[in-house]
Structure formats: structure tokens, C-alpha cells
Amino acid sequence: MTAKANVIGVPRFTEITDLTIPTLSILDAEGKLRKDAHEPLINKATAMKIYQDMAYIRILDERMVAAQRQGRLSFYLTCTGEEASVVGSIAGFKSHDMVMSQYREQAALRYRGFSSEQFMNQLLSNDLDFGKGRQMPIHYGSRELNYMTISSTLATQIPQAAGYAYGQKLSGKDACTICYFGEGAASEGDFHAGLNMAAVSNCPVVFVVRNNGYAISTPTSEQFSGDGIAPRGIGYGISSIRVDGNDILAVYAASVEARKLALEKNAPVIVETMSYRLGAHSTSDDPTNYRSSAEEDVWRKKDPILRMKNWMLDKGWWSDQQDHQLKAQYKKEILDALKSQEKRPSPSISELITDVYKTPPAHLQKQYKDLLSHIDKYPDHYLPNPNKVDHQTALTQFN
């Protein structure tokens, strides 16, 4: 029995009002420092990188949604409105910390150094795609940048993050894991399994929960009746904090402290960022079916990028001219990358069943040989591929 409580002599039920968690907020909606708020230690270079990467992702999202509508890629999912929740948090971690994300955290990958060409390679599934065309668009991953490849299945990364962090602890390295997911994923069983494992096994993992108001079309009011996600961490014995997810300074300050706490105590931490998904859930979604433009307008006035820009302008670290030049530069960079990388060929068929097994099992080898025979028999059914493999070589590569 591990519960710790004061003894009482009459029935008294604890209500949700007793467990309301406050929200950390440092900047107001205009980007001004709030009264009695403490500005975190953040130098100009870090602030510049954070702002520039947020601006980049906003433009990448706009361009890629347009490209999807033009039929140049099949699917896309934006980070629009949640940039501070992602960039502000990843900026508080080290490059050797592992990132396990859901599917809306491309900004964390950009912060780590992912290039425009690398984004396009994955989105277009060309021959330079790290996933070799086996994943749908937005399922990024990079071994070099310690960014675990994204999985379509919701919440699987949560228990995986707990296990990976446990391994980091056993290795004795000064590293932890940061795990991203939305409040909708917190309704999955993997959320509870992952948090309990992390708490009981003392895993140095920071769970960043993006509470953006909707699980696709389901508002939070229909997902749960409790006070958000952070109180669930308390129930598992996990240190938890809630922050204004559109306030870059609040997210950054909380993330720096969360990483420190996770490593010092070898324990999990929850950071719940209160934000809003300004864009559609994905390019397959139409948010006008379940929310009003008036609701969206309220959150547009809390735009995380504009708030940070105003703060930087006040500090003399940025100017409107720099802002205009930066955005023009990013638009050109992204469009140039799209045009160049969409001309590249598809991944070679010779790599279709490699990597998973040291030696592919017999049934996969048979299916692979059948595919090559089918291509030989019906060559007109397949688009020309500059990477077309020599079939005789392909048939013998696993022997």
C-alpha cells in the first residue's frame, strides 16, 4: 500500500475543484512580460533560432498544404498554432536526448537541423527518403538527429519512450527522452501503461502533452471531464506542470526545468501545453464541420509566433525588415526544394524488403521474386524508374 494521506473521521470526497492545476504564463497575448513573471535565462542566439524555426514551420505548412491540394503529395499534417509548444520545448533539451513524437512535431526536427530537402525527400517518398518510401508522408525520422521514426498508430511512442529512457538511465549517460503527444492520445491505453511504467521504474522521460482542444473533430469537453491531462500525472506520482502553450517563454522555462528534474531524480515529468490547432487536423479534414470561425479568431489573436516577434522587437533583437526578409527567404528555399526533390526517382525495388531482417524470411523472398516476375511480364504497367534494378542481381541478393 503506497497511498499517503491524512486520516479523517468522516466521509469527505475529493472533488476536481481541489485538484485544479495553475497555468504558467510569462508573456501576455501582446508579447509583453506579465507583472510578477520571471523571464527565463535565454540568450539572443537561442531566441533567434527558436523564432526562425517557428517561422520556417509556419511557411512549410502553408506551402505543403498547397502542394497537397495541387496533387504533388498525397497527405500533410500541420503544426500551425502549436509552434511554441514544440520549438519552445525541444529548445530546452540537448541534441543527444531522444525525441519520440506523434505526428505534429516537425518543428522539433527542424530545430535539430533537418533540411528542406530532407523534408521533401520524406514527404515525396523519393530515393533519398530515409524511410525508403515505406511510410506515408509526415512520418519523419532521423537516426543522426536522435528523432525516432513516427508511427501511424496513436500513442505507441509513450510506453516506448518510457522503455528507451529506462535504457538511458541504465547506460549512465547524461541523457533523457522527450515524448510528444496530443490530449487525444491520452485517451489511449498506451498512455496509462507508459506513465505507470515510467513512474514505477523511475525513467528520465519528459512527456509533453499538446492539449490543442480537439482530437480530430472531438472537443476536449467530450473527451474527458477532468481538469486536462496534467492531473493524471499526479495520480501516477509524476511531477506535472501546465503552461500556456502559445507563450514561448513559459514553454521554454518549463522544459528546461523538466529536463533538469528528470535527470536529477531519474523520474518522469509531464508538461501540458495549453494551445490550439489553428489548422485542420490533416489535409483530409474540414474543421468547419465541427468548430466556428469565431472560435478560431479568438486563438489567432494569441498567435505564438506574433507574440514572440513582439517580445523580440521590444528587446531590440529583431526588426520588421528582418522578418520580411526571413520569410521571403524561407518561401523560396522551400519551393526550390520541392521543385528539385520531386524530380528525383522513387526508391529502388531492390530495397523493398531490406533492413527489417538480416536475411528476409522465405515467404518475403518468394513474394519479392513474384513481384519481379510480374514486372517483367507486364512492364507497361509500371512507370519508368531510373533506379530500376537488374532483376537477375535482385533475385540472387538474398541467397
Task: Name which of 364, 342, 326, 272 is nearest 82 in CA terms.
Answer: 272
Beta bridge partners of 23: 242
Catalytic residue from among 281, 307, 344, 368 = 281
Active-site annotation holds for 290 = yes
Q: Can you say how many angstroms the Cα of residue 359 is from the centroid of all Cα atoms in its chain?
A: 33
By C-alpha distance, which of 164, 150, 250, 153 is closest to 206?
A: 164
Among 69, 96, 290, 357, the active-site one is: 290
277 is catalytic: yes
Q: HSE on the CB side for 259, CA within 13 Å?
A: 23
178-204 as b/e: b if 16+ CB within 10 A: bbbbbbbbbbbebbbebbbbbbebebb
What is the distance between the alpha carbons of residues 52 and 114, in angstroms, rounded to a whole number?
14
Exactly one of 104, 210, 277, 344 is catalytic; which is it? Answer: 277
What are the residue numbers of the active site? 277, 281, 290
